[in-house]
Amino acid sequence: MNQAALGFRAHSGWTSLVAIALEDGSPMVLLRQRPQLVKTFTYEFRQPYHTAEKVPRSEARGVISHIQAEARGLAHQAIRSVQKRLLMEGYELQCGGLLLASGRPLPSLPQILASHALIHTADGELFRNVLLHACRRCGIEIFTAKESELMGEAGEELGLEPEEMKRRLADLGVGLGPPWTQDEKLASLIAWTSLAKRRSRKK
């Protein structure tokens, strides 16, 4: 069966998702989506740590846990649906890639809520961790890379110079129509890299 890979570039409350496969060594897009990771797409739910900052400290952890649990369910539904769809089209989805931020590990919740910069970071981390959790539930092996380091890691794995990678990523979107933004391009690149890594390990 043909192998496919998922790529994610997460945002607060949603993610860019691209599925690719290789044809004669070159990537092709099987599908792209922008699944929502919150049922109610409002600031309150899309920014869980910002929301927790505004409630009594005794309630903050509960607010975050509720949004996280909801997001985990939605992420699992979205990824499992893609997995089933691709399987019907003859593609086995067992690996993928997720872009990470470049920040340091987060401190305790009280320290996060005392820093506006850490609150922003924590919101992003929550949704990235939700996607990792959902992928594990679906049996998908996930490769992660910091966004600032992806081009270097991808170039080494794929044997391509940065300008050539950028050209090929732009070409992937030709004929697909919008959206084909930096979100889709980077999601495609990390999916392509994860598929190449998996294949190289199996040789």
Reported confidence tier of residue 143, pLDDT bands at 50, 70, 90: very high
pLDDT at 177: 87
Q: Please give the share of the chain, as a percent, with pLDDT higher than 70.
A: 99
Write out the two tokens for 113.
């809520």
Full set of structural domains in the chain with CATH = 2-202 (3.30.420.10)
Write out the two tokens for 85.
């769809």
E-assigned strands of the chain? 2-11, 14-23, 26-33, 91-100, 141-146
Distance CA 14, CA 127 (A): 8
Asked if 79 and 136 count as a contact pair (C-beta separation under 8 A), the reply is no
pLDDT at 94: 87
Residue in 9, 8, 173, 35 with CA at minimum distance from that of residue 93: 8
pLDDT tens column, 28-67: 999 999 999 999 999 899 999 999 999 999 999 999 999 9
Write out the two tokens for 203.
């040789």
- AA identity, residue 106: L
175 vs 15, which has greater pLDDT? 15
Residue 175 has pLDDT above 90, yes or no: no
174 vs 71, which has greater pLDDT? 71
Q: Report helix, strand or coil for 22.
A: strand
Mean pLDDT of 187-192: 97
Asked if 110 and 55 count as a contact pair (C-beta separation under 8 A), the reply is no
Reported confidence tier of residue 202, pLDDT bands at 50, 70, 90: low
Q: Report helix, strand or coil for 154.
A: helix
Altogether, the residues listed in the chain come to a count of: 203
Mean pLDDT of 118-144: 96
Residue in 128, 103, 116 with CA at minimum distance from that of residue 53: 116
How many CB atoms neighbour CB 164 within 10 A?
Answer: 12
Q: How many CA atoms lie within 13 A of 188 on its CB side?
A: 27
pLDDT tens column, 61-111: 999 999 999 999 999 999 999 999 999 999 999 899 999 997 788 999 999
Those residues with Cβ within 8 angstroms of residue 190's Cβ, 6 or more apart along the chain or in another chain? 7, 8, 9, 96, 97, 98, 99, 143, 145, 150, 154
Mean pLDDT of 143-163: 93
- Residue 46 φ then ψ, to 5°: -75, -20
Q: Please give the share of the chain, as a percent, with pLDDT higher than 90.
A: 87
